[in-house]
Amino acid sequence: MGFYLILMGPQGAGKGVQAGFIRQDHGNIPHISTGDLFRAMKTRTDAFAQEIQAILASGKLVSDEITCKMVEERLAQPDAHAGALFDGFPRTIPQAEWLEKYLSAKGEKIAAALLLELDLYDAFRRTFGRVTGADGSSYNIYSNSEGITWNWVDHESKAFPPRLEATVTATGEKLARRADDASADAIIKRLDAFQRDTAPLLPYYEQRNLLRRVDAAQSIEAVTAAIRKILG
Ligand code: AMP
């Protein structure tokens, strides 16, 4: 039996970090993020890939048919023979139904749909305030800002809100911010989309007794421990 897990939660809930631990615990199953798979098409110049990029830029969802086809191809790769960790998929009821059918035809099933729950205001602060150093160290203006100098830099013509810049006070190292974290507007749009897309899936997995909720406001270690307890 393979191990198939669905990971859900808003940005900032720690999905990326926890996915790393989950994979380690379960035979290094691949982390399949449909958003990453679509973004990876960016370098392709064919009409199909361009169409996908236009949909991504609009913030709309790619069709269920295309999305499921892509997941099917990904699951056929050898590294996915023992299971997979889904992130950003399923996003709609038809996708959830497709996955259930696809796995059951192979004699497999979903182990759980794990929801990393985080207040959306906290999700915003975790995302907007986070910066990382070249060595992977991470800081946040709202929760972990000691030793860091924070500067709000005005846009030249004030056409956009000020930018947040962070430097390590002792060394002067400039810390990096993920491009998709730097715009408050874009973060709010993604949080809205998460609410909109995930809401219908919760009763779907609840009815199947697969939904497991984890309080993602806890420390990374506490969240990992809670997940390990749930997944046994
Ligand atoms: P994400 O990185 O998960 O936020 O996904 C980025 C974008 O990829 C989304 O805004 C959608 O346009 C597309 N996308 C990702 N996953 C799906 C999915 N399961 N169904 C439809 N569209 C998706």
Instruction: Say if residue 66 is in the same domain as residue 45.
Output: yes
Is the residue at 124 inside a domain? Answer: no
**98 and 197 housed in the same domain:** yes
Q: Is residue 42 part of a domain?
A: yes
Same domain, 14 and 104: yes
Ligand 1 centroid–CA 93 distance in Å is 14
**pLDDT of residue 57 exceeding 90:** no
Q: Using CA atoms, how far apart are residues 115 and 8, in angstroms rounded to an integer?
A: 5
Query: Given a cut of 80, is residue 205 above it in pLDDT?
Result: yes
- Which mutation among 8, 34, 180 tests ligand 1's pocket best, with the greatest number of atoms within 8 A of CB? 34
CA of 161 to the centre of ligand 1 (A): 27
- Over residues 59-115, the pLDDT tens digits come to 788 999 999 999 999 999 999 999 999 999 999 999 999 999 999 999 999 999 999
> How many other β-carbons are positioned within 10 Å of the β-carbon of residue 6?
24
56 pLDDT higher than 90: no
Q: Which of 39, 44, 174, 178 is catalytic?
A: 178
- Is residue 202 one of the residues assigned to a domain? yes
Domain match, 87 and 193 both = yes
Q: What percent of the chain is predicted at pLDDT more than 90?
A: 70
Query: Contacts from 68-74 at CB under 8 Å and sequence distance 24+?
Result: 68/95, 68/98, 68/99, 68/102, 70/34, 70/37, 70/38, 71/32, 71/34, 71/99, 72/102, 74/30, 74/32, 74/37
Does residue 34 sit in helix, strand or coil? helix
More confident residue, 178 or 70: 70
The answer on 67 and 18 residing in a single domain is yes
pLDDT of residue 89: 96
Rounded to an integer, the average pLDDT of 12-28 is 93
Residue 124: is its pLDDT beyond 90? yes
**CATH code of the domain in which 41 resides:** 3.40.50.300
CB-based burial, 196-221: b 16+ in 10 Å, e otherwise = ebbeebeebbeeeebbbbbebbeeee
Q: How many domains does the chain have?
A: 2
When pLDDT is averaged across residues 195-221 and rounded to a whole number, the result is 95
pLDDT of residue 173: 96
The answer to whether residue 50 is domain-embedded is yes
Q: What is the pLDDT of residues 33-45, one digit of tens each?
A: 999 999 998 888 9
Q: Is the CB of 38 under 6 A from ligand 1?
A: yes
58 and 139 housed in the same domain: no
Please say if the pLDDT value at position 152 is more than 80: yes
**Six-digit token pair at 95?**
């996708």
Q: Whose CA is nearest to atom 8 of ligand 1?
A: 35
Q: How far is the CA of 36 from the centre of ligand 1 (A)?
A: 8
Q: Based on the residue annotation, tell me whether 15 is a catalytic residue of this protein.
A: yes
Q: Please report the atom of ligand 1 found closest to the CA of residue 95.
A: 19
Residue 158 lies in a domain: yes
> pTM, whole model, 2 decimals?
0.86
The pLDDT of residue 177: 87
Task: Based on the fold, state whether residues 109 and 144 are members of the same structural domain.
Answer: no
Task: Output the pLDDT for position 171.
Answer: 95
Q: Is 80 exceeded by the pLDDT of residue 180? A: no
Considering the domain architecture, whether residues 172 and 188 belong to the same structural domain is answered as no
Q: Does ligand 1 come within 6 angstroms of the Cβ of 16?
A: no
Same domain, 153 and 198: no
- Domain residues for the domain of 68 are 3-119+184-231
Is the residue at 125 inside a domain? Answer: no
pLDDT value, residue 187: 87
Asked whether residue 161 falls in the same domain as residue 189, the answer is no
**Residues 198, 134 share a domain:** no
Same domain, 147 and 50: no
Q: What's residue 136's pLDDT?
A: 86
- pLDDT, residue 95, reads 97
